[in-house]
Amino acid sequence: MKFPAKSFALTLAVAAVLSGCSSAPKNPTAITFSVEPPSEKQIEQSVRDQVALMLEAFTPIAGQALPNNSVLEAYEFRDFEPLWIQDKTLNMSIYKLVDILEDANQHGLNPIHYHVDVLKEYLDNPTPTSQDLAELDVIATIALSSYAHDLSIGRYEPQLIDPNWQLDAPSNTWRDLLFLKNATDMVNYLPTLAPSHPHYQVLQKWLVYYQELSAKENDIQIDVGVPLFEGDEGPRVAQLRARLVQLGDIRFSTRKVQEDVFDNELKQALIRFQRRHHLLADGTAGSQTIQMLNIPMTQRAKQIAYNLERWRWLPSKLEADRVWVDLTGYEVQTRLNGNTQTMKVVIGKPERKTQVFFGNMTYMVANPTWRVPHRIARENLLPKVQKDPNYLARHGYKVFASWSIGAKELDPTTIDWKAIDQSKLSYRFEQTPDEGNALGAYKFMFPNKNDIYLHDTPAKHLFQEVDRAFSSGCIRLERPGDFADFIIANNSKLKSALDKARLTRETTVISLEQSLPVYLVYFTVVPNENGMPEFRYDVYDRDKLMEENMGYLAFGTGESL
């Protein structure tokens, strides 16, 4: 079937460049015709003819494939009756849909992906044919479906962006929207598909704030110069104050102040800014603080948008009882039976990133033996043994002939370690339980393909560091004994077993009666306790990967970064 001239916007390339279309009317009315209008039967037949063609024409646009199968199923469910045209009248909710799609950037999504300008072209046609109306109906449904999908579970496949990101919890519940009674119900239901977690909602509001503010005014920049201290005066102090007002760290007040004087109020506001950007909170505007202050709001908006997408990769509902390992915050928060426990953690160093994933904790081991992972044995342990033949005995390591079950234990003094090449190392190493054991006195297991778990550590001094990316991938706990007590607090049988293990110092496996969900998550922007955005150090450079793959429509300008 040949597409009419009016449907020239059916390919991605054209859809992406259409501009200058008029907005939807403020008081839309039913479609009017200068000639005899198409019959309902003609429109329905055209819809049936157009569905397959239109789904093929609207090919995937960057990242995740469009959910076109769901569109086809929705029309088949209705025997190809149009969704947006009833009784020869266009359902007015289509204009509300266009408005919602135009504001997709408020969720960090790109309106171009939802064919807004194409829809406007069709809506501007005063004399549509049955084929025009069918195409409009199908395009509107494709746009609705795509946006519902992306708003609910994210537009992009996480592992296509970052192979180390393995936490993806897609759900098909968004498809229920396509089987509601009518188009009005569908459009009204659409906004509810966004993640309901408070962190998402707060960040989404800050994204809108940065977008709207950047559209109205330029970034206030602080001139480079000597550090600014409390008591200083001058134009750079006025710039500092104005920038902190712009960013929300100083609330607007009608009280008169000396704008160019660095008073205590300004110092406290600067401390708040420094804390939410993980800077030394000394109230002094040094070079690092000024550099952070001068980051454009458009850049901050991009960071927020990337983190909104990360939230959409999480399950729509999180378990009330869970372990939440916040990798960029170097912290673990455990919620259990209405109580919450928080402590510091050490995560994987950048060259041995801790993966982002989900697991179920099923048991813990008191006084564990450490079976050294093959990579660590090759890269860390072997070089130490080659330098010091007594290293293994001094640190309580046993050596086995291979990784097979029942492998023979060997005498390490009989092995010529210097003659072994790292790539050919086949021995298995196990470290016996003692105070110097790399796992400390506890390990907490949630079986996963990454062989990552939570554990104790003898290197307690690392918890005094601000940035704590020092491990080989596993999560080291600041107070593992407290963590153990917390997760079995309501079980006297398990508490007795743990007490005995602590007394005897024997290796003891303690199985949990109910598994405990464990999330390892990575966010570079989170709301702090005051609801302000906290911008964190991107220790694994994951935001760069997001930008390379996602791009970002900044403020509805039509320019994708």
Identify the helix (H) or strand (E) that includes residue 554: none
Q: How far is CA 426 from CA 389, 420, 422, in A?
A: 18, 10, 9
Cα 269 to Cα 284: distance, rounded to the nearest angstrom: 11
Q: E strand or H helix at 290, and its extent?
A: helix 287-293
Considering 21, 149, 455, 461, which one is annotated as catalytic? 455
Q: Which residues on neighbouring strands pair with residue 334, listed in sequence order?
A: 323, 341
CA distance 60 to 62: 6
In whole angstroms, what is the distance from residue 391 CA to residue 248 CA?
Answer: 56
How many C-beta atoms lie closer than 10 Å to residue 437's C-beta? 22
Q: What is the DSSP string of 359-399?
A: EEEEEEEES--EE--HHHIIIIIHHHHHH-TTHHHHTTEEE
Active site residue 474: yes
Question: Two tokens at 509?
Answer: 């496996």
CB 54 within 8 A of CB 136: no
- CA separation (Å) from 335 to 73, 319, 380, 444, 492? 41, 9, 35, 16, 19
Measure Cα distances from 308 to 141, 199, 248, 290, 294 in Å: 24, 9, 20, 27, 23
- List the structure tokens of 402: 């291979």
Q: What 8-state DSSP symbol labels residue 104?
A: G
Which of 107, 113, 149, 474 is labelled catalytic? 474
3-state secondary structure of 484: helix
173-189: b (≥16 Cβ within 10 Å) or e: ebbebbeeeebeebbee
Token pair listed for 300? 């901050």
Active site residue 455: yes
Token couple for 483: 């963590």
Question: Angle, to 10 degrees, between the axis of helix 130-153 and the axis of helix 297-312?
Answer: 90
Chain centroid offset of residue 514 CA: 28
Cα–Cα dist 33/30, whole Å: 10
Give the catalytic positions in this structure: 455, 474
